A and B are shown apart, each in its own frame.
Chain A
């Protein structure tokens, strides 16, 4: 079963860019992941789906300030022109054999 590892926190200034990382465990570099955003006090929201090749699908209504990329076992979520509403927890998700795994989440602070 894959394991997803995320940094616990990140910060960046309003209007700048940030890149969040989700790392798949060894041997799982081909796995597809999904990124979710959870704003304070709200339910999670699906953002984007990302393959190891870099192919992706964007969720409905997700601004193009959000982009994704892949390298080996790393899956990235980049956010440009940071807005105050981007301050949130970001989770990656993957799946295998009828089970589902989440990363521990990254708390993004917009300074």
Chain B
């Protein structure tokens, strides 16, 4: 069974840092690109960042570019999101998701974790 389990969320002050982890199991982690998506309280889904299967390619939403870093350790089957210079508007549940290659082009999000809550507040 495919499982994605996020951890590392919590309360952090504005300007602070936090590192999220996503432990993957039930599939060959190193074969899949991965994505972070967030959801602010009462709001919709927002794409945050993505990383290629081998970690060589990383991509970010403009809202987090320069502040967040996505990475992965394929030997540990773990995805990370390092968040710095955090702001109130970064408060959200953060989900990791596995990219499912599309038969035509690109990929869609085929499997989601349960999410971890990040609260940025003084």
A residues at B contact (CB < 8 Å): 32, 34, 36, 42-46, 49, 51, 57, 59, 89, 91, 93, 95-96, 98-105
13 more A-B residue pairs beyond the given contacts A44-B37, A46-B109, with a C-beta to C-beta distance below 8 A: A32-B104, A34-B108, A36-B45, A43-B112, A43-B114, A44-B109, A44-B112, A45-B112, A95-B108, A96-B106, A101-B47, A102-B37, A105-B44
A-B pairs with beta carbons under 8 A, tally? 64
**Residue contact A93 to B108, C-beta cutoff 8 Å:** yes
Q: Which of A42, A45, A95 contacts B107 (CB 8 A)?
A: A95
Q: Which of the listed residues A43, A99, A101 has the most CB atoms from chain B within 10 Å of its own CB?
A: A43
**Which residue on A lies nearest to B102, using beta carbons?**
A32
> What is the minimal beta-carbon distance from A107 to any residue of chain B, in angstroms?
10
Chain B interface category by residue count: 20 to 34
Return the CB mask of B64-107 against A: 1 if under 8 Å, else 0.
00000000000000000000000000000001000010111111
Q: Interface 1/0s, chain B 22-61, versus A by CB < 8 A?
A: 0000000000000101000000111100100000010101
In chain A, what residue has the closest Cβ to B97? A44
Main secondary structure of the interface of B (DSSP, over half): strand
| Contact yes or no, B104 A51, CB < 8 A | yes
A103 and B108 CA atoms in complex are apart in Å by: 14
Most A-side CB within 10 Å, residue of B57, B112, B115: B112
- Residues of A near B108 (CB, < 8 A) are 32, 34, 46, 49, 93, 95
Which among B50, B57, B95 is the interface contact of A43 at CB below 8 angstroms? B95
> Is there an interface contact between A46 and B45, defined as CB atoms closer than 8 Å?
no
Task: Give the distance in Å from the alpha carbon of A71 to the alpha carbon of B84 in the complex.
Answer: 43
A51-B108 Cα distance, complex, nearest whole Å: 12
Report if B113 contacts A (CB, 8 A).
yes
Contact yes or no, A99 B45, CB < 8 A: no
Contacts of A99 in B (CB 8 A): 47, 59, 61
- Is B11 in the interface zone, CB < 8 Å from A? no
How many angstroms between the C-alpha atoms of A61 and B109 in the bound complex?
16
Contact, CB under 8 Å: B47 / A100: yes
Bound together, the chains give a CA A57 to CA B50 distance in angstroms of 23
CB neighbours of B46 from chain A (8 A): 102
